[in-house]
């Protein structure tokens, strides 16, 4: 098959395993899928009623990488479809250029030696061990968890050289473009707020000054009159009224002058 056509219909990564290891393999497949690999394995990819041997040969022909799960259970079988799948991928691997990785052996707490059967003249199955993972996936201890993480990352690094990852793209939220009208409205709102705050403070200051002059000065005059037994008449009001108006006007127009006067006092 033409290489470009094969990539167009690629099934990604094919996982071959023994049925007894299905629980662990299910966890392993989820890990591969979580980092963006397309994974083909018989539990999710085989169609009901289809010829399994035909399907697996098609998958081997179209996949980017073949992962062989080696456990004590699987290696002790010595025969069956599990080994047939492995040997079905040998012809395609032999046709590949030297250095192109295709078969990845994953050692899962395997005490039995990996078979030393020859694939190429200078390469055996034992030479294709890509990583060693632990069967302990339920609440592993800290050391095991750290080791498995490192080993899995090593496998991912090797796999992505031959099989592209398809990480989900972040949601494309279009940036809100602010038009000239919106910018102008925003500036006008800020200006109105500043003006309103300034006028409110000026009004409070003007009312305070009016109160001080119109009520404070006459009250002070009454106190002096009672103390010195003198009648000031309307003189305090004549002083208080214009000074009160003048100070209130200054507070409304140039409040900084009032501040400077108070500061100098």
Same domain, 117 and 248: no
Bridge-partner residues for 15, per DSSP?
A: 67
pLDDT on residue 29: 93
Per-residue pLDDT reduced to its tens digit, 189-233? 888 888 888 888 888 877 887 787 767 777 777 777 777 777 766
- Residue 187 located in a structural domain: no
Residue whose tokens read 């339920």:
138
Q: Number of folded domains in the chain? A: 2
Distance CA 154, CA 231 (A): 104
- Residue 11 located in a structural domain: yes
Ramachandran angles phi, psi of 105, nearest 5°: -90, 125
pLDDT on residue 144: 87
- Buried (b) or exposed (e) across 236-259, using 16+ Cβ within 10 A? beeebbebbeebbebbeeeeeebe
Mean pLDDT value across residues 53-57 = 82
Domain span at residue 121 reads: 3-159
The CATH number of the domain holding residue 31 is 3.40.50.10140
pLDDT on residue 14: 92
Q: Which two tokens stand for residue 72?
A: 């004590």
Same domain, 112 and 47: yes
Same domain, 63 and 139: yes
Work out the pLDDT band at 55, boundaries 50, 70, 90: confident
Contact between residue 63 and residue 14 where contact means Cβ atoms under 8 Å apart: yes
Mean pLDDT value across residues 178-193 = 74
Return the H-helix or E-strand segment holding 201: helix 180-211
- Residue 78 located in a structural domain: yes
Q: 163: exposed, middle or buried (C-beta count within 10 Å: 0-12, 13-18, 19+)?
A: buried
pLDDT on residue 232: 65
Contact between residue 241 and residue 214 where contact means Cβ atoms under 8 Å apart: yes
pLDDT on residue 9: 55
Same domain, 127 and 14: yes
Same domain, 17 and 89: yes
Same domain, 81 and 149: yes
Most confident of 106-110, 175-179, 230-234: 106-110
Last residue of a domain, which of 105, 137, 159?
159
């Amino acid at each position: 098959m033409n290489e470009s056509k094969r990539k167009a219909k690629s099934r990604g990564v094919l996982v071959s395993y023994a049925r007894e290891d299905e629980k662990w393999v299910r966890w392993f497949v989820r890990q591969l899928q979580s980092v963006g690999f397309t994974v083909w394995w018989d539990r999710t990819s085989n169609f009901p009623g289809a010829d399994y041997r035909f399907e697996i040969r098609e998958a081997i022909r179209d996949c980017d990488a073949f992962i062989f799960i080696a456990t004590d259970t699987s290696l002790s079988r010595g025969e069956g479809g599990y080994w047939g799948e492995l040997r079905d991928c040998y012809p395609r691997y032999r046709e590949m250029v030297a250095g192109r990785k295709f078969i990845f052996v994953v050692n899962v707490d395997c005490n039995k030696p990996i078979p030393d059967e020859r694939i190429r003249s200078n390469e055996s199955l034992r030479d294709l061990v890509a990583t060693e993972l632990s069967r302990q996936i339920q609440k592993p201890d800290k050391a095991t968890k750290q080791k498995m993480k490192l080993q899995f990352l090593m496998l991912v690094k090797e796999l992505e050289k031959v099989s592209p990852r398809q990480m989900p793209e972040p949601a494309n939220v279009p940036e809100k473009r602010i038009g000239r009208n919106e910018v102008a409205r925003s500036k006008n709102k800020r200006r109105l707020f500043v003006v309103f705050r300034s006028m409110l403070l000026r009004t409070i200051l003007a009312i305070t000054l009016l109160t001080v002059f119109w009520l404070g000065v006459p009250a002070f005059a009454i106190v002096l009159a009672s103390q010195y037994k003198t009648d000031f008449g309307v003189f305090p009001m004549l002083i208080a009224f214009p000074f009160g108006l003048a100070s209130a006007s200054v507070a409304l127009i140039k409040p900084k002058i009032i501040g400077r006067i108070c500061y100098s006092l």
